[in-house]
Amino acid sequence: MPQNSEGSLKNLVTRRDFLKTTTVAGAIAFPAVLKSQPAGTPSPINRLNVAIIGAGGRGGAAVQGMKDENIVAICDVDSERAGASLKTFKERYPEEATRQEGAARFDDFRKMFDQLGNQIDAVTISTPDHMHFPAAMAAMKLGKHVYVEKPLSHTVWEARELSRVAREQKVMTQMGNQGHAGEGCRILKEWVEAGVLGDVREVVSWTNRPFYPPWREPVGAFNPPDHSKFIPVVPKTLNWDAWLGVAANRAYDPAYVPWKWRGWWDFGTGAFGDVACHIMDGAYWALNLGAPTAVEAMSTGASKVASPLASVVTNYFPARGSMPALKYTWSDGGIMPALPVELEIGRDLPAEAGTLLFGSKATVLCSFYYDSVRIIPEVKMREMGPSLPGKTIPRVKDGPFAEWLLACKGGPKAGSNFDYSGPFTEAVLLANVAIRSRRRIEWDSKAMQVTNLPEANQFVTKEYRPGWL
C-alpha cells in the first residue's frame, strides 16, 4: 500500500477504539490544470471548479449535471466505465464536453486531492457505498462542497460524522435522493402541515428491489466467492486496490464489480440502502420523523456477508410535538403490503415501489420518487381538491444538482443537505443493524447506541483498512 505525505488528509476524523489517524497515498507529479482559487468561491464566468469522484454508472449523471461548470478532475477506479459515461456526455453535450476535455484523470482520489486540492471548489461522489465516507470526509476537510449519492454513508456512525464535519467546515452539501427536490415531496409536506391527513400513526413503504440478480449470481449465493481453485484476473482498466478502499483486502471477483457490490455488506447496504432514501424521503420529511426508538426486522437470504433477498422492517418513531407516535413498516424483495380499504376495487398498488400514509382524515398513496401524491380513493381526492392548501414551500428549479450548485455559489442550502440527510440516513441504516442482528433493537440516538443488545453496536460502525482514513 502506498503511503501518503502528511498533507491534505492527515488529520481526518478519529474515533476511540475503532479508528487511528493514518497517512495515505503519496503524491505523484501531475501538471496543474487551472489557476488556483480559494475553495468555495465561484470560478470565472460564475463557474465552479468541480472534481468528479466516480464517473461511471450513476456518476455519469453527475458529469452531465456539472456540464456548465469547470470540470477540472475526473477520478474513477475503472477507466472503461468512466470512458463510457464520458462518451455519452460528449454525444449529448458536445460543446460542453469539448470545454471539459482538459480535466485531469485519476484512479485514486487521494492523489487527486494531493495534486489539485487547491484548484477544486466542489466535489461530486458517486462511488460504491463503502467509499462515500472517506471521499466526502477528505473533500470536506479540505473545505470543498460535496454532493454524495445515496445512501449518504455505509454506516450510522459515518452519517453522524459527515453531518458534524459539514457543519464545522461550513461547506454546502447535498445527498443525491433527487426526489427531495421534486414537487411531490413538497405537496405532501404542505398537506401534512395544513392538517389535511389529520393524525398519522402508520406509514407503509415497499419495493420490488433487489429484483435483478445481478446482486446474486447465482441467486442464493450467500457466501464469498470460492477462490481455492481459481482466482479471476483483475481487468487492466480497473484499479482493484483503490476500488476496495477502506474494505478489507481480498482477491478481485466479478461477483463484486461493477454492480453486484450492493448485495455484499462490506461494500453495499442492500435493498434498504439502495432505495429507502428515495422511497421513505417524502414521508420522513413531512412527518419530521427523526430517529426511531426501536426497529424490528424479518428477512430471507441474508448471511454474515450478504444482504437479504427480501425483508420486512418495522420502525417505531416517538411522538414529535403535536404529532403522535408512529409505526413505519418497510418491505422489499417484492413483498407487497395488504391493499388498503380506501383503494378502489380493481385498482392495485404500484409494483416497483410506493408509500402509504394512513391519517385520521385521509390516506395518501405516493409513488417511488413522490412524482405522484394522491388521496385515495380518487373520489375523495376530487372532493377535497378545492380545499387543499396552496404552495407554501419554495420550489426547486432544474433539479438537485442545480440546487446544490446554487448553494455553493451563495444561494440557500440545498434541501437534502447533511443536516437533513445525515439523520435520515441514520434512520434508514438502522434497518440493516436490525436485519444483521436478527433481534429487535432499541435505539438511543443521543448516545448513538443500541441499548438492549450491545453486540448489535458492531453494525453501527466498522473497521477500516489502514491507509484510507
Mean pLDDT over 46-55 rounds to: 96
Closest CA to 175 of 209, 113, 120, 124: 124
Per-residue model confidence (pLDDT) at position 17: 35
Residue 40 pLDDT > 80? no
Closest CA to 232 of 256, 201, 197: 256
pLDDT tens per residue across span 332-346: 999 999 999 999 999
Give the rounded percent of residues in the chain with a pLDDT score beyond 90.
Answer: 84
Mean pLDDT over 160-188 rounds to: 98
Mean pLDDT over 307-332 rounds to: 97
Q: How confident is the model at residue 3 (pLDDT cuts 50, 70, 90)?
A: very low
H helices of 251-393, in order, are: 270-279, 281-286, 378-384
Indicate the fold that domain 180-213+268-399+426-453 takes in CATH: Dihydrodipicolinate Reductase; domain 2 (3.30.360)
Identify residue 232 by its one-letter amino acid code: P
- What's the mean per-residue pLDDT of the chain? 90
Per-residue model confidence (pLDDT) at position 439: 96
**Can you tell me the distance from the alpha carbon of 366 to that of 286, in angstroms, rounded to the nearest whole number?**
13
Residue 188 pLDDT > 50? yes
Residue 44 pLDDT > 70? no
Mean pLDDT over 301-320 rounds to: 94
Per-residue model confidence (pLDDT) at position 259: 85
Full-model pTM: 0.90
pLDDT tens per residue across span 213-235: 556 665 556 788 889 999 999 99
Per-residue model confidence (pLDDT) at position 441: 98
Residue 278 pLDDT > 50? yes
User: Which comes out higher in pLDDT, residue 41 or 62?
Assistant: 62
Mean pLDDT over 143-155 rounds to: 98
With beta carbons less than 8 A apart as the criterion, state whether 430 and 295 touch.
Answer: yes
pLDDT tens per residue across span 400-417: 999 999 999 999 999 999
Residue 29 pLDDT > 90? no
Per-residue model confidence (pLDDT) at position 138: 98
